[in-house]
């Protein structure tokens, strides 16, 4: 009897030791995984404008987004909305896909917005989890592009554009979104009436509802000074497009061109910048967009972006 009791006691002790060891091992494994996750998350920063990868997104969404994750970006800006869907997915499904891959849906370019479809589009943008609704060009047929001269411009008046943006801005604000207007080069050049569109917009849109995404390449192409705009209109440039310019004036990966992003970055607080996205409209000399986003990601580190 004593022997059986002793054996039962020994077995119980062994079982407790095994259970305790398993729990300790599981705890160590969980702590290790948590540490690795935090390390990976710490290495991720900055955003990518998916317009850069528009062809790749059209061919294989999953593989392309995996490449964005692997390159180290933390959030994305969409540029693929059509018929109520983002890249062919319902808004909620697109949000779920991004978040499942560790990407944040932060901003989206909504070039097809009109006063007629705005309410529906805003609801879709909200459902997809975005914070910033970006108008990438003068909407509603106002944007022009001359294919022969490669010249960008607009028809209609800047006063009309101002009224449209104010209306859209109020609608976005009511839905809990922030409206931004994205520039190209023509907004920084005086029009036939002697009005510089970007200046007029900055002075006449309601800053409570409408602010700006400054494209640093296009400002440079217009021979304007971003720092001067930060000084004159502090706090108005909530987003930046970070893209470089090579010696030929072409789009270049960040750090492969001539724009002094370090000098610009030093004024980020004055500018009002809340987020930034790498964007490269075209690549050259055999470089693929998927390769370019990796080079730009390293370029961000070079200039101190985080």
Question: Above 80 in pLDDT, residue 35?
Answer: no
Return the structure tokens found at 296.
Answer: 């730009």
Question: Above 80 in pLDDT, residue 248?
Answer: yes
- CA 289-109-179 angle, 5° bins: 145
The CA distance from 205 to 212, in Å, is 10
**Does the domain made of 44-303 have the CATH classification 3.20.20.150?**
yes
> pLDDT for 195-241, tens place per residue?
999 999 999 999 999 999 999 999 999 999 999 999 999 999 999 99
Q: Phi and psi for 242 in degrees, rounded to 5? A: -100, 105
Q: Phi and psi for 193 in degrees, rounded to 5? A: -95, 5
Cα atoms in the 13 Å half-sphere on the side-chain side of 258: 8
Question: Above 50 in pLDDT, residue 18?
Answer: no
pLDDT at position 43: 84
Q: How far apart are the first and last CA of the chain?
A: 71
pLDDT at position 4: 53
> pLDDT for 131-162, tens place per residue?
999 999 999 999 999 999 999 999 999 999 99
The arithmetic mean of pLDDT across residues 80-103, rounded, is 98
Question: Above 60 in pLDDT, residue 272?
Answer: yes
The CA distance from 153 to 217, in Å, is 16
The CA distance from 223 to 173, in Å, is 33
The CA distance from 120 to 112, in Å, is 12
The arithmetic mean of pLDDT across residues 99-115, rounded, is 98
Mean pLDDT of the chain: 91
pLDDT at position 303: 97
User: Hey, what long-range contacts does 197-200 have (CB within 8 A, 24 or more apart)?
Assistant: 197/154, 197/158, 197/161, 198/229, 200/158, 200/159, 200/162
How confident is residue 51, by pLDDT bands cut at 50, 70 and 90? very high
Helix (H, G, I), strand (E, B) or coil at 147: coil
How confident is residue 2, by pLDDT bands cut at 50, 70 and 90? very low
Instruction: Report residue 119 CA to chain centroid gap.
Output: 22
Question: Above 90 in pLDDT, residue 7?
Answer: no
pLDDT at position 13: 47
For the CA atoms of 190, 200, 219, 141, the dihedral, rounded to the nearest 10 degrees, stands at: -80
pTM score, whole prediction: 0.87
Return the structure tokens found at 42.
Answer: 């710490």
Return the structure tokens found at 141.
Answer: 């047929």
Q: How many helices (H) and strands (E) does the chain have?
A: 12, 14
pLDDT at position 157: 97
pLDDT at position 74: 98
Question: Above 70 in pLDDT, residue 262?
Answer: yes
CB 202 within 8 A of CB 158: no
């Amino acid at each position: 009897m004593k022997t059986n009791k002793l054996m039962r006691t020994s077995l119980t002790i062994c079982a407790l030791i095994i259970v305790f060891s398993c729990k300790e091992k599981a705890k160590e494994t969980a702590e290790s995984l948590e540490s690795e996750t935090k390390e990976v998350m710490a290495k991720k920063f900055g955003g990518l404008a998916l317009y850069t990868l528009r062809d790749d997104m059209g061919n294989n969404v999953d593989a392309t987004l995996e490449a964005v994750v692997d390159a180290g970006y933390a959030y994305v800006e969409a540029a693929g909305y059509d018929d109520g869907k983002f890249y062919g997915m319902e808004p909620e499904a697109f949000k779920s896909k991004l978040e499942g891959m560790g990407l944040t849906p932060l901003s989206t370019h909504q070039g097809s917005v009109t006063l007629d479809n705005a309410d529906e589009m805003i609801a879709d943008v909200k459902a997809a989890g975005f914070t910033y609704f970006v108008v990438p060009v003068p909407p509603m047929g106002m944007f022009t592009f001359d294919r022969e001269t490669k010249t960008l411009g607009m028809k209609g008046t800047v006063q009309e554009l101002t009224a449209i943006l104010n209306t859209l801005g109020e609608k976005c604000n009511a839905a809990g979104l922030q409206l931004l207007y994205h520039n190209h080069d023509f907004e920084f050049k005086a029009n036939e009436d002697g009005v510089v569109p970007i200046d007029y917009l900055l002075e006449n849109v309601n800053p409570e509802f409408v602010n700006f995404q400054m494209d640093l390449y296009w400002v440079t192409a217009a021979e304007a000074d971003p720092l001067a705009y930060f000084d004159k209109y502090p706090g108005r440039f909530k987003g930046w497009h970070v893209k470089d310019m090579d010696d030929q004036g072409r789009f270049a990966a960040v750090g492969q061109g001539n724009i002094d992003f370090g000098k610009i970055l030093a004024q980020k607080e004055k500018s009002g910048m809340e987020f930034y996205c790498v964007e490269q409209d075209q690549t050259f000399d055999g470089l693929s967009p998927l390769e370019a986003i990796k080079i730009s990601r390293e370029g961000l580190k070079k200039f101190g972006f985080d």
